[in-house]
Structure 1
Amino acid sequence: MQPIAQHQKWRREVREILIVAILASAGIGLLTNAAFELLKSKILLVSLIGLTLTLLSFSTLLRLRAPAQAATLRLRGAIAFDASREKLSPVRISGYKFNDEFYEHLMALLAENAALKKRFLAYAGKKELSLPNERAPGFDFYKEIIESVIEFILINELDLHLNSYFVENEIDTAKIKEFGRNDLPKEVLRNKALDAFTKDYSERESFLNENFDESIGQLYYATGNNGAIYNRISIELPEESVITRMKDGTLNIVHPTFELSLEVEFDETSTYVDFELIEPMDFDRAAPYGFLVRVTTKVKSSIFRSAQEDDLYAWLDSYIARLQSLICIDTHTQKYDSQLRAFMTSRPKPRKRISE
């Protein structure tokens, strides 16, 4: 899904058709005048010819429809960890970066609050699985923690991507608005991971013994001895952007030109991951959990927007591509399978043994 690139293509096509239509109209006008002089007594025929040509031009333009105003991409990912009533243990999915980031941030969030950790492990450490229509007590809290960590990773990826995009493309800083923790509305900070990680380290017990020297510059990222994380989120967006959260929990970034929505869904159902990718391998372990991220974009169509203006919004395409690469477990599994097949086919064939 490349909403900005699709609109650029549509705009080029419309402009080309408009130029052709103008030239054709001029030609038709001259021909019509000439025909009228020759066929003065046949005004009705000339009028019908002109009407037919006009309708044909409009039908050609109508076939060039603008890209859909709204498009949704569904990204299916996987997370894996072992849990008991006392602790969490890592379970790696080989080469799958998202699961590593998820576990690191989940542990960091639980390190912030002993009560929160105890409540999370009370549910995560249970041995029996609950059905969707018979959820055990504690599921809603468990779901909220997992979804908040997943959403935080999406926000952090957006922060990192935007920062590098605007620098690499030399976008005028006057056209960019920066969103720090204090610029985010309360409903956005309902995300427990976002709230915990962006809170000033000087107010957090996990960093009491740290002595950061900010005289040499602002601190953007730090980790505590217990695994806690400080992340000074600084989301750079085109000016006039607004970050909100909808009633259903969806995170929304709204701008007069575009809208980006991120929705995370986790329901404790398992998903398929090739067992050979799981580390450490354990055939008795339950399959990794699956989750879903819905990425919805809306882009306002305009044939008058310049390519330079599009540079301010083209990060949407590359950010979506970045999420696809990071999250899609099916793509990762297929990549692993193709690499394994390539390795197996490239192995030298054993030599035939010559019997004596």
Structure 2
Amino acid sequence: MFRPIDDLQDNNRNIILLLATVLILSLATNLLASLLFKMINNLFVIIILCLISLLFGILLLKNIYFSHHKYVIRLYGGYWYNLKSKELEKVSISGYEFNNDFHRYLFSFLNENKAFKNIFEKNKKGITINKSSFDPTIKDKLTILRSTLEVVVLDFLQLHLNSYFIKNEINDFEIIKITRDNLDPSILKNRVLDSITKDMDEREAFINDNSTSLKEKNCSVVYSMSKNGIFYNRLEIELPSGTTIHRNNEGFIEIDNKLFKLTIVPIVEGYSSIVSSVLFEDGNYKCGENISLNLEVQIKRSFIIPKKSIQVYQWLDSFLQAIEEYISIDKLEKKMKVDVLQLIIKNLKSSNNIFIQNNNSKIVNTAHKSRIAKTPDDIPVNKKWDVGGNSSKMLF
């Protein structure tokens, strides 16, 4: 489990010990220098030794203060759906909320943007996929899926941050709120995000809808869904003051502040994802789109930071843990105890087979007995045989 901020605090404690060690060594060096001066009686040599020691101390301090620790977290997930009658249908997977949320945003975007729906249905996935960059303005199926993944991650992030800051009673002056209005224009190049967060007054699906009337009454709408499944998300991300959200030169979203930089890399690899068949709610196994996410964290500064000041940034640790539980198929299968479910199903099938075999064997035995010819000794005493010619008959 990755916990960059906790690691940073551990480093801070190590730095204190290191500085104490350096102080003791400097005192020892001073005594040694005094002794050497008396022995050598050469001031030039002493100055050279002192400069070498000073240079070593500066390099050590530079490595400590400006050290950049980098973490790369790879999460393997998936999205399952059916395309029937040109309608996108969700495939339900027990315990996998990521699949439900992904479907909600993708379904909304495609049904509100018919041109992109046609692209999604007809466009074949490419064989070669460029994972080192992302251009959300490209019109193809892979870009639609990658853009949807960005939206799902940002939505999960905003919910997590809101919960974290309330739970830890972070002061409002330590937080900034980033909405669509003050979002960097490069972020809105994501067509799915632009569509989902666009004002309801500008969207035909919400005209004369209850959500629109609520807004006219000055009610603040955070989420809303129209009757035909079109979704609205206001998107309000709370972050530590001084934090920015933008796209880097490779086109990936970066959340940047004075302590760390978080890069969100959406990946759709163009092949199927696999999850245990016991988790499909309809009992039928299906292949899904392989959806992966790289989260790259770079710690900018590893110097002494007060615990009170670092708390506003500590959401990163809990976010990395929560999103792993949210997306990872491995975590899903462990949470749902798939190995136990498979063993139960195997035992049930085995018991059922034994039951069927026993019943079949009873049927066979009964049929075998019914085919045994009866002899005259088996005939009841009140019945007799009349034998004549080449045939025989029983008289009652």
Scaled by the length of structure 1, the TM-score of the pair is 0.79
**Secondary structure of residue in 1 paired with 2:227:** coil
Residue matched to 1:241: 243
Structure 2 unpaired stretches of 5+: 130-137, 352-396
Q: Give the distance between the partners of 1:86 and 1:341, measured in 2 at CA.
A: 34
RMSD: 3.5
Contact 2:180–2:236 (Cα < 8 Å) also in 1: yes
Give yes or no for the alignment of 1:132 onto 2:136.
Answer: no
Contact 2:196–2:233 (Cα < 8 Å) also in 1: yes
Q: Give the distance between the partners of 1:133 and 1:242, measured in 2 at CA.
A: 32
Range moving further from structure 2, 312-321 or 332-341: 332-341
Shift of 1:304: 2.8
Residue identity in the other structure for 2:8: H
The 5-angstrom pairing of residues 67-106 of structure 1 reads: 68-84=68-84, 86-106=86-106
Percent of counterpart pairs with the same letter?
Answer: 29
**Secondary structure of residue in 2 paired with 1:12:** helix
**Secondary structure of residue in 2 paired with 1:311:** helix
Residue matched to 1:291: 291
Q: Give the distance between the partners of 2:125 and 2:30, measured in 1 at CA.
A: 78
**Secondary structure of residue in 2 paired with 1:77:** strand
Contact 2:11–2:302 (Cα < 8 Å) also in 1: no
**Secondary structure of residue in 2 paired with 1:179:** strand
Residue matched to 2:159: 160
Shift of 1:73: 1.0
Residue matched to 2:326: 326
Shift of 1:280: 2.4
Q: Give the distance between the partners of 1:5 and 1:163, measured in 2 at CA.
A: 21
Closer, same or farther: CA 293–83 of 1 in aligned 2, 3 Å: same
Closer, same or farther: CA 111–41 of 1 in aligned 2, 3 Å: closer
Closer, same or farther: CA 339–14 of 1 in aligned 2, 3 Å: farther
Shift of 1:155: 0.4
The 5-angstrom pairing of residues 120-269 of structure 1 reads: 120-123=120-123, 132=127, 141-210=140-209, 211-213=213-215, 215=217, 217-269=219-271
Q: How many residues align?
A: 324
Closer, same or farther: CA 267–25 of 1 in aligned 2, 3 Å: closer
Give yes or no for the alignment of 1:3 onto 2:18.
Answer: no
Q: Give the distance between the partners of 2:203 and 2:262, measured in 1 at CA.
A: 32
Contact 1:80–1:288 (Cα < 8 Å) also in 2: yes
Q: Give the distance between the partners of 1:337 and 1:293, measured in 2 at CA.
A: 23
Contact 1:188–1:244 (Cα < 8 Å) also in 2: yes
Contact 2:5–2:316 (Cα < 8 Å) also in 1: yes
Contact 1:270–1:289 (Cα < 8 Å) also in 2: yes
**CA deviations over 1:88-119 (Å, ceiling 9, x no partner):** 22112221111111112211112322333233
**Secondary structure of residue in 2 paired with 1:182:** coil
Residue identity in the other structure for 1:189: L
Q: Give the distance between the partners of 1:281 and 1:344, measured in 2 at CA.
A: 12
**CA deviations over 1:50-106 (Å, ceiling 9, x no partner):** 99xx89x97xx89x9787532211111111001145212211222111111111221
**Secondary structure of residue in 2 paired with 1:92:** coil
Q: Give the distance between the partners of 1:131 and 1:21, measured in 2 at CA.
A: 57
Q: Give the distance between the partners of 1:130 and 1:172, measured in 2 at CA.
A: 47
Higher radius of gyration, 1 or 2:
2
Contact 1:270–1:288 (Cα < 8 Å) also in 2: yes
Residue matched to 1:353: none
Closer, same or farther: CA 344–15 of 1 in aligned 2, 3 Å: farther
